[in-house]
Structure 1
Amino acid sequence: MPLTPTGTRELLAKLGHQPKRFLGQNFLVDGNIVRKSLDLAGIKAGDTVVEVGPGLGTLTSALLEAGAEVWAVEKDRQLHAHLTETLVPSHPRLHLMEGDAMDFPLAGFDPVAAVSDRLPADTAGGHRTALPTKPFKIVANLPYAISTPWMDAVLSGPLPDRMVLMLQLEAAERYVAKPGTKLFGAISIFLQSAFALEPGHRVPAACFHPRPDIESVLLNLARLPEPFIFPAETKALIRACFQQRRKQLGSILRGKLAPEAAARWFARLEAAGFSAQSRAEQVPVALWRDFAV
């Protein structure tokens, strides 16, 4: 059962732990939201689930009770020690590591290695993005400070089947923003090229301790049947376009692309009703994927 606000304060006091704002330590104290997270993710026995920042273990415990195998990474040394003492001994399906989610975005889980012992010998050393992977999901309460760079790392693949993420509303709105809006950016393109938005759930500030300043949301993302993963070089170019979003694409890309490559992409823009005078936020996701071809 999730801790109540009183129970959370008492446990934190017992541990001598002060919630760290820079780590986004707002602990969930509403059991309905925990259950909603599992429902949205469709968690069932035997699922492999990655969790970022398990904290006091509220969501982790619920995932384990549902029969999932959980891979979790916790940066806070004191909370990692607490979970190691209270959860790890009685849960062999919990793989808990101490570390930074930016260094271990999948908490040490390797979807390729998880099936490598069943691969034919001539494919075992192949390119990782082309190899079979073990299905997995991500269910996590993401700290605001790392949400976008962490998401960027996850979108480099291998991709989870589903992600149910507790996010501050501002971050979630950027991820699902539409072209032509100020919130539309590089991370919107990368995410929407690989995942579809499904119904989520608003989460009031009262569901956390300490209470955050803004509203949160459970973002529910399902992997597309044919997800697109942008190459690293293309991602860097797209980011550069949005870092200078007031400038016309022509003035940005002519200095970054070979003349032939720039001419090809501008021809595609014009065929779709845009031009070199368009700005990055005006161009739809599908055209940005053409940019990578």
Structure 2
Amino acid sequence: MVELLGPAEIRGLAAELDVRPTKKLGQNFVHDPNTVRRIVELAGVGAGDVVLEVGPGLGSLTLGLLGTGAEVIAVEIDPVLAERLPVTVAERGAEAAGRLTVVGADALRVRAAELPAEPVALVANLPYNVAVPVVLHLLAELPSLARGLVMVQTEVADRMAAGPGGRIYGVPSVKLAWYGRARKVAAVPRSVFWPVPNVDSALVSFERTDFESTVDEVNASGGVDREALFAVVDAAFAQRRKTLRAALAGWAGSAERAGALLTAAGIDPKTRGEQLGVGDFARIVAASRASGA
């Protein structure tokens, strides 16, 4: 049995460690046990799963994940919090202590070789200011990550799960679509955090489908690697109000060549980036390669 943390325990731990949550590290600690239970339930993890948690903080979600019987690899950049986490787990669920590994590292730079096992799921309350870069880095670095559930700022959640055609659709939307399908699954009230953030939060679930290994798509695109596709995506949205012919001029070498490549890919040069799906961007890259670039 693992005992979860409540508001009093969270504040007590913070006082003991002299922890003052900072905006720089995006520290907003969840102090509501019911929210933790909800996240764990939606994540669908259990005994035998190896779960990666980023930014465990004082351990609220960590305890909930361990309570399912899963093994948890917690990546924590703050050395004070990293040192205290195993103690908290031992105090509130001794039998679970052996299933926790704390890795003191920056999640934006952590490598697979630093982890004791291959995680199959990412479950985390992510710092708002680096949420998307962290998810993209981990998906690229850890092919074993098959699914995830992350708590992020609502605006970021909307972008992560957006499809082509809307104003919120952009670079995060397309790059995540390269790896799989994301969807916004639930809102999270501000009141469950300490300190209370000045933005709303939401949960985003993710299932890896690996665009690059989808046979039909790869055959249609002629085989496209991630870096090449991401470069086109970045160029297309750097000036999102421009047509793709203009926006991709720098990437292609000229507006004329960009227009020719778009036409070869079956895309109207007057189209804007927000109207294209990941498959469309793949065709642009394939057209560029076919032209000898």
**Distance apart, 1:262 and its partner CA:** 4.3
Instruction: Count how many residue pairs are aligned between Structure 1 and Structure 2.
Output: 267
Q: Mark the runs of 5 or more structure 1 residues left unpaired by the alignment.
A: 115-133
TM-score (norm 2): 0.81
Q: CA-to-partner distance for each residue in 1:9-61, whole Å, 9 max, x for gaps?
A: 22211221111121111111122221122211211100011000010111112
Q: Does 1:73 align with 2:68?
A: no
TM-score (norm 1): 0.81
**What does residue range 80-159 of structure 1 map to in structure 2 within 5 Å?**
80-87=82-89, 90=94, 91-104=97-110, 108-109=114-115, 136-157=120-141, 158=143
- 8 Å CA contact 1:198–1:220 kept in 2: the answer is yes
- 8 Å CA contact 2:184–2:203 kept in 1: the answer is no
**Which residue number in structure 1 is paired with residue 45 of structure 2?**
43
**Which residue number in structure 1 is paired with residue 21 of structure 2?**
19
* Partners of 1:261 and 1:64 in 2: CA distance: 55
RMSD of the alignment, in Å?
2.6
Q: Which amino acid aligns with 2:98?
A: P
- Among 222, 241, 244, the alignment partner of 1:249 is 244
**Which residue number in structure 2 is paired with residue 123 of structure 1?**
none
**Identity across the alignment (%):** 36
> 3-12 or 27-36, which moves further after superposition?
3-12
**Distance apart, 1:208 and its partner CA:** 0.7
Tell me the SS of whatever aligns to 2:35. Answer: helix
* Partners of 2:4 and 2:211 in 1: CA distance: 35
Q: CA-to-partner distance for each residue in 1:225-267, whole Å, 9 max, x for gaps?
A: x533852132122112211112221123233226898466412
Question: Greater relative contact order (Cα 8 A, min sep 6): structure 1 or 2?
Answer: 1
Q: Mark the runs of 5 or more structure 2 residues left unpaired by the alignment.
A: 214-224, 287-293
Tell me the SS of whatever aligns to 2:246. Answer: helix
**Which residue number in structure 1 is paired with residue 154 of structure 2?**
169
Larger relative helix fraction: 2
Q: CA-to-partner distance for each residue in 1:119-150, whole Å, 9 max, x for gaps?
A: xxxxxxxxxxxxxxx56000000001111211
